[in-house]
Amino acid sequence: MTEADDANTGAETAQLLRVEEPWPPGEAGLALQLRVWRLAPGRLAVMFADYTTADDRLTPMIRRVMAEYPDDSITFYYEEVSNQLSPGYYAVLAPADDAELTETVLNGPGISALHNALGPTLRQTSRPEDDRPLWGGP
């Protein structure tokens, strides 16, 4: 999915399906926040959030979500909360066949398109500690 696809997905159609934290439950070493939105029939957006950088530890988590939604096309995102004054760090994630993770950082227009696509639930469901004045937090 491209940033243009995200921009064409109206926020009014994005439906938040689930928020789990910590996710996966009981898994040592990871305490991600998982959010899943239905963008359209057969299309999902999945956001992992954590306070550290994305790395290859997320690849099995991505595959796990893919197994939970086998009939859907899924775009995976990562949100790193690191600076309260920043507009946020967001990236698109894609696992490669060799289990390495490809991370494409979203720039200003990409971040805006993401917020437009997911609507206010993106901020409303951010971690409570994420009180960034520009984009994060309720």
pLDDT in tens, 11-32: 457 999 999 887 777 776 677 8
Domain residue ranges of the chain, discontinuous segments joined by +: 3-124
pLDDT in tens, 61-120: 899 999 999 999 999 999 886 655 555 688 999 887 777 888 999 988 998 899 899 988
pLDDT score, position 93: 93
Give the SS3 label for residue 3: helix
Q: Find tokens 């507009």 and name the residue.
A: 87
pLDDT score, position 72: 97
Q: Is the pLDDT of residue 133 over 50?
A: no
pLDDT score, position 24: 78
**Beta-strand runs (E) in the chain:** 15-23, 32-40, 43-50, 73-80, 89-95, 101-105
| Cis-peptide, bond into residue 22, ω within 30° of zero | yes
For residue 137, give the amino acid letter. G
* Cα 24 to Cα 78: distance, rounded to the nearest angstrom: 15
pLDDT score, position 127: 60
Q: Is the pLDDT of residue 138 over 50?
A: no
* Cα 99 to Cα 96: distance, rounded to the nearest angstrom: 5
Q: Is the pLDDT of residue 43 over 90?
A: yes
CATH 3.40.1350 fits 3-124, yes or no: yes
Q: Which of 9, 80, 90 is nearest to 50 (CA)?
A: 80
